[in-house]
Structure 1
Amino acid sequence: MSSWRRRLVAALADELGTARGEARLLAERTAAAAQTAGARAEATITAAARKRTKLTAIHERMLATLRARRDQTLASGIEAARAAAAEAAPAAAGATWDEWEPVSTLGRGPAPLLRVGELDDEAALPALVGLLDRDHLALDASAAPALPGLLLRAVGSAPAGLVRLHVYDPERLGGSLSAFAPLGKAGLLSFIGPSGLRETLDDLVEQVRRINAEVLAGEHESLAGLASATGRRPEPWRVLVLVDSGIDRWHDHDRAQLARLRRTGVAAGVHLVTVGDLDEGMPLLTDTACPGLGAAVRLDGPPPTPTITATAKAVAEKHAAGREPARLVDLLPRRLWAARSDTGLQAALGESPTGEPAIVSLGDNPPHALVGGPSGSGKTNLLYAWIASLASSYSPDELEFHLLDFKEGVSFARFASGRRDPTWLPHVRLVGVNINDDREFGLALLRHLKTELRRRAEAAKAHEATKLEELRAADPEGHWPRIVAVVDEFQVLLETRDAVTDEAVQLLEDLARRGRSQGIHLVLASQDIAGIEALWGRPSLVAQFTLRIALPKARRVLAESNHAADTVPRFCAIVNDESGVPGANRTVAVPNAGHAEAWEPLQHRLWQARPEGNEPPALFDGDHVPDLTGRTPAPETAILGQTIDVAAAGAEFALHRAPGRNLAVLGTRSAEAADVLASAALTAARAQHLAVDICCLEPDAATGALGLASALEAEGASVDWHDNLADACKDWEDRADGTLRLNLVYAVDAGSARLDPAQAASLRAMLLDGPERHLHTLGWWRSVPRLREDLGGFSARFDAVDAWLALDVQGPELAPLSPASGGPAWYPRLRRGLYFDRARHRRPQVVIPYATGAAIARPDAVLDGPLN
């Protein structure tokens, strides 16, 4: 073989080996790649399988979550539906019979829906229907058993008396609803006989007309709207129940009236419920279907008859007890003292039938008020409510009160500062309590008002003003508040034919006639003003009291033809500002203002807001005996007791040099007589230095007389003690040296009988001539005849005694001493005396002897014997 062939074969072999190596390498690489790809493919397949498994689990979880959410949403929806149902039909309106009890949940909105059964599905939601404030309702024969339950829920879910049933059941004559019969005793249920249907329909139509015209009066579209706006429902719901009544056979007039009720009744609270008589114009309830629901219904069974009867009795009793009174806090203004009294006074006395505040005015018209009501009718509570409303609206610069209560009690004492409560009502300037035996204090108030009226009239004349509004404008810096004088049980002031009554009537007539122009207003209250001749015999006086307020069963407060007070419910009053004519009647629900929990927080609030310098009111308590402490008169003056007047001033006796300036204390009440003598001596000693002779001939008064002697010496007086009347009269000229000297003799008549003629003449001479030498005898005689005997006998004159103070001495016995023929109209009473000083008084005045026990208490160093 040639060499080139050998070289070719060798080259080819090398190339072939290289190719084979490359092929092998490629094969190996291919195999490796294939193996790698297979592994990758297997891994991919495995990963995909795993992912698919994971997605399946996620999907399943998602489905489970969705199912849970669906179930939860369904459950939440059911719970929400139950909650909504419970809100729409709370308590008695929606409870099942096993846990049912009457509970009113009525608020400012419409009445609740009423449960009649359950929806016929797994949820078993309550089935509710609208009746009160919403619609009428028709029940077919299959749903008739639901009627008692429907009515019971309506009655039990509203305040007592606000649902009234009228049942027309011609077939059974009301027997189907006889368990509700106890409501009839309270006027909340009437069973209509076959002949009474027309009258009932006509009456309900008239009620709708009246409510539209007088209650809604164009301001509200319905009673539900009015209740939502005011929070009060002035009219009850009236439900006419027609059971198998045969409407299609009714007379045309009756069907027309029924149609009117169907059209207009709901807005006025008049609803129809028919059973068995289908009416296409009303929602229909059957045993399988409920109005407004698209689901089948299972009706509740009727409530147990004992439950119906017990509920009817409870509702009737609560309604008979009267309407719950309004709350005082709801009637007061939100901001204190924001009103001005220039033109008059306006305040909320209570609530009107529409639930709005009932405003009562005092001003030019009406100027004065009469308030009447028998015991227990709430007269005092009404006065509290009126005072609270006025005091909250007007500041003490705009309004002042003068308050008197003639009955035995302390109704107005809470307005003054006391031991238990030191606060007072800032508007009150005078309070009189327990004054049923002190008619003179009522007279004193009228005199005080007459003086204030004169002062205001003079100021108005000076400023050329004709009434208070003009005076306040002309004199803005002056203090001209309106004055309201409240006199409770005022008839006590006028019940006796005497000088007190005569003057009181004259003052009342003048104040009532002229007080309106000067801002002085009278509020006279009484349990019964019938038979008060002194008042009703003066028609011009009564005519001034154009505002009349009559509480339940009040007599003769309104006009003779107005008997509204006979039927007004408890906690209410008839307010009439047209002199009591029937057309001006307003029924007002009065709040409970008399309870301490209602009044005390208000008084504390007003007291804390009082202006600077506001002083507590003067308090006159007829049961309180005033104390002598701190009483110091002018020189040559003695104080015998406290006068019964607005200023509570002392009854003064002048000790100047003049004939007859002696005092005779008359009566047998030794303690009071001793107090008068002690008051006179102590107060005179406080005013100036003096000398005192004491002769005590009454053993019961000896201890007090000794204590008085010690107290006089403590005041700086010179004291001489005499054991008998002869010593007290002996040498009186020597003692009468011109220095003021008092001769106190306890029980003069006990010693005068033992005097010989010369000593008796010395006594008379001392009485006649001693005062001109500044020796004044203050003696106590047990009777007027004994005084006369000591002055010289039956024909003796009383010139030697200028002043006298009678205790338990009847008026006719005082005739010889009195300026009035026949003696004063004086009826003795405990701790009161009648005082007359001919040098100062036109008529006697009643005084209260001071309690001097504390002032003459003997010191620890007991006196060893009589003073010399």
Structure 2
Amino acid sequence: MGSIAQFLGRAVDLHRQAASLLLDAEASVAGLEDDQFAGAAADGELRRLVAQLQAVAQAGLPGWLGMPLDGRIVSRQLGQDARSGGPLFLRVGDAEPIRNSVFWAAAPFVGAGHLAIDTDARDRSVAAWLRGVLVRTIAALPEGSVRVLPVDGAMLGAVFTAFRPLIDAEAWAAPATTLAGLRTALDEAERQITAAQAGDLQALPVLLIAVAALPSGHGRAEWARLAAIAHAGPAARVHLLLAGWPPTLMHGDGPPRLDHTTMISSGVDGWWRMSETPGPYRLSADGSGLAAPIRLDPGASEDVAAEFSRRMAATAAVARRTDFASLMPDRIWQESSATGLRATVGRDGRIPYELVLDDATPHMLLAGRSGAGKTNLLLILLYALASRYSPDELGLYLLDFKEGVSFVEFTPTLKDPSWIPHARTVGIESDREYGLAVLQALTREMNRRAAALKAAGVTKLADLRASTDVALPRLVVVIDEFQVLFGANDTLARDAVAALEDLARKGRSYGIHLILASQTLAGIEALYTKKDSIFGQFPLRIALPGGSGILESGNTAADGLPVGSAVVNNAGGVEQANRTVRFPEADPASLAAQRHILWQSRSPVNEPPAVFAGYAEHHIDDDPLYRALTPQVRRRQALVGRAIDVGLPTVGFAMDAVPGRHLAVLGTSTIGADVLHAATASLASQHEPGTARFVVASFAAVADQVVDDLVAALTAAGHDCTEADGGTVRAILAELATAVPGRPTYLVAFAADVIVPLLGERGPERRTGLDDLRIVLRQGPGHGVHVLSWWRVARRFSDAIGGSAGREDVACLVALNVPGSELSSLLGDHTLSWQPRSNRALLLDRHDQRQRLIVPFVRPGRHDEINEPG
């Protein structure tokens, strides 16, 4: 057989011959009623032509396209009867130009135009015919290539009951029964037409709007939209199957003509007439249609349609399921991010769905109730991006503010040393301070890129990348449970809001994309006045079950979603832009397999990400800066912990000749002893053995073990180390207050608050030990003398140094579990904001006005004791 076009041409010729012979026969019979031979000859010729037409029709409409839809055809193979490269013709009725002489009447449909019948599906024969057209179309085309939007405004969806298995399998949409439902179907058709005009037609499904009866309330607005879809739809794979068109009007002009549409009109005695509107495939030269009356194709009974639907649904369920591995590209790192980022995250029906981060949709909001799959979808998106783009094309900044392990996948662990080479920094159970530090680091990077663009004389990142060899990857910043960062209406929250707004407004120009995830946007005080200015920069919205709050008011499409699906909206949440996407489970085995592929492909320059685990201890012995310390340093430092900042830099205090360079650790927590231990050990590493003197004293039993360990370590390292008690410490203070030592000296006092009463007693020279302490604090640094102390009672520390008069004499402070109000009063700084918390300390250096939240160094095994109540 030739092509469909050849078949159509032959069929049209035969139709014309049949019509001409029929007219000739009628004229002959009228003029020669007595000439029986002439009438018999004309009748015979016409019957021969009808037989030829039937032979052509049977050859051109094989299988599902033309055979009777009864039990014999249900088991026939699916998706094999449509010919490639041409329109789909299917049987719509039986033409009978002469009694008892019939051929199948065919009409062009998918790939060519639309079908309409003037009686709605309340007529049982029309309902069966409608079911038949749907069965023939779906069965003939490749499986999964058709998406049906059923509309039944008269019988509440009853016409489509037989197709319920396909609806349950989500291969079809649920029947629309109201005017709003019809409008939603028209919205989707219009979106596909727009997408086809802008992009790849081959990626789009055949979209079929099947109307059993128009819903009440429809009018000229809906007619105009249908007419526009009829005109533009065939080129975008959008087709109409309308029962009850044109609508019956009580008054006024009728609805507009539908282009590219084969019309079937009811006649008398069960006969129908098939006519057409202009299009590339014509039933007749003059547009009048088929020159013969037809009877509607019997269509499909409800039983046949139901059996067909069950069969299709079984394969649809399998086709609809996808897995994590199927979303990953066959070859990693093949794409450029110069103009944007794309990632396949799931399927819209059976079509792969890509999320896009570019200049048009630079930032994304993601929301859903607990258990809706937020972490799962984030993992799919990030792995898909990291698999498509190399580390030179993409960098990841990941923050998680909840008590979870969303992003542990991206970091090396003791169990698995691999990591995702794109990850720059990963925060797990992040502090708000760490979140602000990341935003500020990104702001600095954005400003650096802005300067580079200006220097190069270009305005787009793609142009800058083309003019330089320096890698300028796009940066994706994910903040899970981001509302925690802005939850308090304090200075930190205000600073974070300012940084976020700056990045949201300008980031798109410099390749920085934000993804904010949460269960809700409600109750974020710090963002109350900034919601529009910030969230207005986030056109891409993904609403998981229960996440409709990020969509426009009234758009509740996500409320009834099943887990494993999401409403994706790239227009700021307006209902017309909703798309429902299903995504798979990112199971641990698949994640691990893909992570190892990426890790093993990394460049030698790819370092592991800077990991901030909010719950993790930090030990001085594991610190890289401590391990690198040598006596060949310009300025010695007492290391006390790691800063809550990108990269967790090691922090401490310089112990040089500047007045006030002494360290006081404040708080009842026994972690104070560990901090003092770390500070002393780090100073010892910066002296050659025997060149410095260490005097170590413990005034409370809780510190004895720490002191014993410290003295043993100092002695083993060859340092001059002596232990002292209350009496000897007083004598040492008197000595240091009156004589210049010949070498650097460190007085290390644990639980120093205990000895304050003893130091307050006057000696023979009418001076107290506190007088000597204050002289040492004031003059000691100039002579190489430094006091390192832990005070469990902050008020005694203040009394010991002379109150406000002695504040400048101890410039280096580490506050543990000291209440914020008490610390503010002690320092005379009522702007100080400090809330004690587990595994955290506040570093204050009054010389450089430095305040930093730190993770204090502790000795191994002390996690359960960190900042215990005093």
> Partner residue of 1:802?
811
Is the Cα contact below 8 Å between 2:116 and 2:261 reproduced in 1? no
> Partner residue of 1:709?
711
SS across alignment from 1:765: helix
- Which of 483, 486, 490 does residue 478 from structure 2 map onto? 486
How many percent of aligned residue pairs carry the same amino acid?
31
- Which of 398, 405, 420 does residue 425 from structure 1 map onto? 420
Deviation sequence 1:721-755 (CA, Å, 0-9, x none): 11x33322313354651422221111111222344
RMSD: 5.6
Offset of 1:179 from its aligned partner?
Answer: 11
Offset of 1:836 from its aligned partner?
Answer: 0.2
Offset of 1:515 from its aligned partner?
Answer: 3.0
> Is 1:835 paired with 2:843?
yes
Structure 1 residues 135 and 638, CA gap change in structure 2 (3 angstroms): same
> Is 1:737 paired with 2:736?
no
Structure 1 residues 136 and 826, CA gap change in structure 2 (3 angstroms): same
Is the Cα contact below 8 Å between 1:661 and 1:776 reproduced in 2? yes
> Is 1:405 paired with 2:409?
no
Structure 1 residues 737 and 579, CA gap change in structure 2 (3 angstroms): same
**Separation of aligned partners in 2, 1:174 and 1:455:** 60
> Partner residue of 1:368?
363
**Separation of aligned partners in 1, 2:549 and 2:354:** 23
> Partner residue of 2:824?
815
Is the Cα contact below 8 Å between 1:440 and 1:644 reproduced in 2? yes
Deviation sequence 1:578-621 (CA, Å, 0-9, x none): 444455x2415152263224433332222232223222211111
- Which of 333, 338, 343 does residue 337 from structure 1 map onto? 333
Structure 1 residues 343 and 401, CA gap change in structure 2 (3 angstroms): same
SS across alignment from 1:494: coil
Structure 1 residues 562 and 640, CA gap change in structure 2 (3 angstroms): same
TM-score normalised over the length of structure 1: 0.66
**Separation of aligned partners in 1, 2:642 and 2:77:** 59
Structure 1 residues 605 and 526, CA gap change in structure 2 (3 angstroms): same
**Separation of aligned partners in 1, 2:574 and 2:173:** 32
Which aligned pairs between 1:147-162 and structure 2 lie closer than 5 A?
A: none
Structure 1 residues 212 and 662, CA gap change in structure 2 (3 angstroms): closer
- Which of 770, 790, 794 does residue 780 from structure 2 map onto? 770
Which aligned pairs between 1:658-673 and structure 2 lie closer than 5 A?
A: 658-670=658-670, 672-673=671-672
Structure 1 residues 259 and 732, CA gap change in structure 2 (3 angstroms): closer
> Partner residue of 2:438?
445
**Separation of aligned partners in 2, 1:705 and 1:237:** 83
Is the Cα contact below 8 Å between 1:384 and 1:593 reproduced in 2? no
SS across alignment from 2:848: coil
Is the Cα contact below 8 Å between 1:833 and 1:847 reproduced in 2? yes
SS across alignment from 1:537: helix
- Which of 838, 845, 853 does residue 846 from structure 1 map onto? 853
Offset of 1:323 from its aligned partner?
Answer: 11
> Partner residue of 1:6?
none
Which aligned pairs between 1:788-799 and structure 2 lie closer than 5 A?
A: 788-792=798-802, 796-799=805-808
Q: Which amino acid aligns with 2:820?
A: G
**Separation of aligned partners in 2, 1:382 and 1:490:** 16
Deviation sequence 1:253-284 (CA, Å, 0-9, x none): 59x99999999699xxxx99xxx988787877
- Which of 781, 792, 795 does residue 782 from structure 1 map onto? 792
Q: Which amino acid aligns with 1:776?
A: H
Offset of 1:766 from its aligned partner?
Answer: 3.0
Is the Cα contact below 8 Å between 2:149 and 2:185 reproduced in 1? no
Which aligned pairs between 1:65-464 and structure 2 lie closer than 5 A?
A: 213-215=190-192, 252=248, 326-352=322-348, 355=351, 357-363=353-359, 365-435=360-430, 438-464=431-457
> Partner residue of 2:550?
557
> Is the radius of gyration larger for structure 1 or structure 2?
1
**Separation of aligned partners in 2, 1:104 and 1:720:** 93
**Separation of aligned partners in 1, 2:839 and 2:760:** 36
**Separation of aligned partners in 2, 1:176 and 1:344:** 46
Structure 1 residues 593 and 337, CA gap change in structure 2 (3 angstroms): farther
> Partner residue of 1:532?
524
Is the Cα contact below 8 Å between 1:369 and 1:524 reproduced in 2? yes
Specify every segment of 5 or more residues in structure 2 that has no aligned partner in the other structure, as ranges. 1-61, 91-106, 215-242, 275-293, 763-768, 863-870
> Partner residue of 2:39?
none
Is the Cα contact below 8 Å between 1:810 and 1:828 reproduced in 2? yes
Offset of 1:386 from its aligned partner?
Answer: 2.5
- Which of 597, 605, 614 does residue 605 from structure 1 map onto? 597
**Separation of aligned partners in 2, 1:465 and 1:514:** 15
**Separation of aligned partners in 2, 1:694 and 1:335:** 62
SS across alignment from 2:397: strand
SS across alignment from 2:854: strand
TM-score normalised over the length of structure 2: 0.66
Is the Cα contact below 8 Å between 1:572 and 1:587 reproduced in 2? no
> Partner residue of 2:757?
753
Q: Which amino acid aligns with 1:608?
A: Q
> Partner residue of 2:464?
471
Deviation sequence 1:788-830 (CA, Å, 0-9, x none): 222236x6532222111111111111113447425x2211111
Is the Cα contact below 8 Å between 2:552 and 2:572 reproduced in 1? yes
Structure 1 residues 653 and 162, CA gap change in structure 2 (3 angstroms): same
Structure 1 residues 235 and 528, CA gap change in structure 2 (3 angstroms): farther
Structure 1 residues 251 and 351, CA gap change in structure 2 (3 angstroms): closer
Offset of 1:704 from its aligned partner?
Answer: 2.0
Structure 1 residues 233 and 355, CA gap change in structure 2 (3 angstroms): farther
**Separation of aligned partners in 2, 1:831 and 1:431:** 19
Offset of 1:394 from its aligned partner?
Answer: 2.0
Q: Name whichever of 231-240 and 442-451 sits farther off.
A: 231-240
Is the Cα contact below 8 Å between 1:384 and 1:594 reproduced in 2? yes
Structure 1 residues 726 and 801, CA gap change in structure 2 (3 angstroms): farther
**Separation of aligned partners in 2, 1:447 and 1:176:** 60
Offset of 1:391 from its aligned partner?
Answer: 1.9
Is the Cα contact below 8 Å between 1:513 and 1:544 reproduced in 2? no
> Partner residue of 1:29?
none
Offset of 1:550 from its aligned partner?
Answer: 3.0
Q: Which amino acid aligns with 1:757?
A: E
Is the Cα contact below 8 Å between 1:547 and 1:575 reproduced in 2? no
**Separation of aligned partners in 1, 2:339 and 2:346:** 22
Specify every segment of 5 or more residues in structure 1 that has no aligned partner in the other structure, as ranges. 1-83, 114-129, 242-246, 292-298, 856-868
Q: Which amino acid aligns with 2:812?
A: A
Q: Name whichever of 762-771 and 401-410 sits farther off.
A: 762-771
> Is 1:695 paired with 2:713?
no
